[in-house]
Amino acid sequence: MPDVGAFIGQIFVIVLLVVVAIFVIVVIFRSIRIIPQAYAGVVERLGRYQRTLSPGLNLLVPFIDRLRPLVDMREQVVSFPPQPVITEDNLVVSIDTVVYFQVTDARAATYEIANYLSAVEQLTTTTLRNVVGGLNLEEALTSRDNINGQLRVVLDEATGKWGLRVSRVELKAIDPPHSIQDSMEKQMRAERERRATILTAEGSKQSQILEAEGRRQAEILKAEGDKQAAILRAEGEAAAIANVFQAIHAGQPDDKLLAYQYLQTLPKISESASSKLWIIPSEFTEALKGLSSGFTGGPRSAPAAPSSAGGPSSAGAAPDASGSETA
């Protein structure tokens, strides 16, 4: 028969080795901690704060050191539910906020405050009521940047000892009472209609100004065209008259030809409504005498002596002059 005592001893040794192996595995498991990036771990030794673990591989004393829940070191965005706030003019408005904060000290966030998320929410609510309580409804609706700045300063100062840093505070919405909303909508509708009327009037005004400016430019251009045309016509007529005079002087016309041309021009002068008086110079009457003598074949009369007054000679002197030279 096999030795029972030796068998029992072997069993005991095997069990002991297994227990030791399990113990070693447990010790190793409890001694090694891997902290992920953007997190921090707070270690307590025998119930007291020991150190803060950084991301990576960390070693602990098994059964003595205890790792508390990891603290998220990233910037967090927390949206709080709408809070009723009373303004300075005793109107209840509903305001919901968004807070951007970050844990900068894991030890302070663990030991200085029990629940920093709840603390930030309550502090935001009380600070918001204090800030908005000093403003009326119109100021609260138009001073969001001012309210955000005051909230951020107060929260950042109060949460600094908790190991937190508040970077931004934003108001998502400010909802006044329904009665006030109806009045505001009516006011906004009237304001939009007023602006539309003003814009329409301005557009009509500009259109009329442009049309008047266009007409003025057209009249100016037309007047300039008429002016240039009149100048060109006058220059043409002057050139034609100059050419006629040059031709007349080159041909050396006598008094009979000039008198004949003048007689041809008289009907045209009489057609004018402004022609009421004809002035016939004395030299022209003498030319007419010579012209009539040429047509009748008689001798040409001598020119009459000019009068002492220097005016035109009378028509009655012509027969005497012609009669004195006959025979």
Cβ contact 82:94 at 8 Å: yes
Residue type, 297: G
Query: pLDDT per residue over 67-80, tens digit each?
Result: 999 999 999 999 98
Q: Which of 35, 45, 30, 57 is nearest to 106 (CA)?
A: 35
Alpha-carbon span 250 to 303, nearest angstrom? 25
pLDDT in tens, the chain (327 residues): 456 677 787 888 888 889 989 988 888 888 889 999 999 999 999 989 999 999 999 999 888 999 999 999 999 999 988 888 888 888 888 898 999 999 999 999 999 999 999 999 999 999 999 998 888 888 888 888 889 888 999 998 889 999 999 999 998 888 887 777 677 677 777 888 888 889 888 888 888 998 898 888 999 998 988 888 989 888 888 888 777 777 766 766 666 666 666 666 666 666 655 555 555 555 556 655 655 555 455 444 444 444 433 444 433 333 343 333 332
Pairing of strands 56-59, 32-35: antiparallel
- Beta pairing partners, 135: none
H or E segment at 174? strand 164-175
Residue type, 15: V
Q: Please tell me whether residue 246 adopts helix, strand or coil conformation.
A: helix
pLDDT score for 320: 41
String of DSSP letters for 94-139: EEEEEEEEEE--HHHHHHT-S-HHHHHHHHHHHHHHHHHTTS-HHH
Pairing of strands 71-72, 75-79: unpaired
Give the helix ranges, DSSP H, for the chain.
Answer: 4-31, 106-111, 116-132, 137-142, 144-159, 178-251, 255-271, 282-296, 317-324
Q: Please tell me whether residue 93 adopts helix, strand or coil conformation.
A: strand
pLDDT score for 3: 64
> Which architecture characterizes domain 75-176 according to CATH?
2-Layer Sandwich (3.30)
Retrieve residue 229's tokens: 């045309």
Alpha-carbon span 137 to 301, nearest angstrom? 118
Query: pLDDT per residue over 129-172, tens digit each?
Result: 999 888 888 888 888 888 988 899 999 888 999 999 999 999 88
